[in-house]
Amino acid sequence: MFSKPFKMKLPTADQALAGRAQPLRVSALHVVNGAPLEPKEPHLKQAIFGLGCFWGAERMFWTIPGVVSTSAGYAGGYTQNPTYEEVCTGATGHAEVVRVFYDPARVSYDELLRVFWEGHDPTQGMRQGNDMGTQYRSVIFYFDEEQRAAAEASRDAYQSELRASGYGQITTEIGPAPVFYFAEDYHQQYLAKNPHGYCGHGGTGVTCPVGLTRNA
């Protein structure tokens, strides 16, 4: 059993669990559309979002036209190749995230950001609804300066809309993309394998004023 001293507080690098050198094994192909989980086409771009439990979050993105592949994983912490049980203790520092491969000729990064913001409540800190812990925090990890600028601009635009609707300050972390670690195979496309499985996403009901405005 793991202790949970960091359930609502991020550990430092010295406090985090060590992990392991061997990656977790996952299927090579997406259960829903048959695409590789790591497509190699040079025109595709990547995005990483964390918005609570990755089961429902991943489903939000695989349904978007122009999204080629998605996968559930862990990012933003210290532990190498963490397990789900380790992440749930809070002692790895990771967030549950979705990695998205998308075709920028078919869907803009702004549209992905709109789905991200509207898909959860980004003002809740280390939780999302009834799911509490550092692994459920809201995060955007960017791969280039264009994504960074778009993420920050969308945050500021959505903050104005949220404030007008009575919500507080956005707590979303925006930072450069760290190492992405695959979650265990049973987590991949979980709600396609388990159609009646748990999904705690509801969003705020506030419309985000970005999307379909630019390619990035």
| Residues annotated as catalytic (active site), given as ranges | 53
CA distances to 19, 54, 98, 108, 180 from 216, in Å? 34, 24, 18, 6, 21
CA distance 137 to 134: 6
Using DSSP, state whether 40 is helix, strand or coil. Answer: coil
Angle between helices 54-62 and 109-118 (to 10 degrees): 140
How many C-beta atoms lie closer than 10 Å to residue 186's C-beta?
12
Half-sphere exposure at residue 158, Cβ-oriented, CA atoms within 13 angstroms: 30
- Which residues have a Cβ under 8 Å from the Cβ of 80 and sit 6 or more positions away? 18, 19, 20, 21, 181
Using DSSP, state whether 24 is helix, strand or coil. Answer: coil
Residue 64 identity (one-letter amino acid): I
The radius of gyration of the chain's CA atoms, rounded to the nearest angstrom, is 16
Are 53 and 130 spatial neighbours (Cβ–Cβ below 8 Å)?
Answer: no
